[in-house]
Amino acid sequence: GFGGVKCVESGGPEPGVGCAGRGVITAINFLEEEGAYDEDLDFVFYDVLGDVVCGGFAMPIRENKAQEIYIVCSGEMMAIYAANTI
């Protein structure tokens, strides 16, 4: 991409069918298998859905896939609730 930026978007299950957090785990594992993290990346950003309360979004933290993690959210109740579940 422009300026050496790489971007990927992964979808989740249909609403009411399955866990979006599981989609995050699957996407990260797929990107690892395809070598997406092999290059010397400065940052990797994940945009978490604000209405999801699934623990799957904590997978990068649990499996030590990051050196540092920052959670940024708005002051809206559901955003804070989602951030607190990670």
With the C-alpha atoms ordered 64, 19, 11, 80, is the resulting torsion angle positive or negative?
negative
The residue among 35, 21, 25 whose CA lies nearest residue 63 is 25
Per-residue pLDDT averaged across 4-11, rounded?
A: 82
7: pLDDT strictly greater than 80: yes
Per-residue pLDDT averaged across 10-26, rounded?
A: 72
Domain ranges of the chain: 2-85
The count of other CB atoms within 10 Å of the CB of residue 83 is 15
pLDDT digits (tens, 9 = 90+) for 33-81: 999 888 788 888 877 665 555 666 677 777 777 778 788 888 888 888 8
pTM of the model: 0.63
Q: What are the distances in angstroms from CA 35 to CA 28, 38, 40, 41, 75?
A: 11, 5, 11, 12, 36
Q: What is the pLDDT of residue 54?
A: 62
Length of the chain (residues): 86
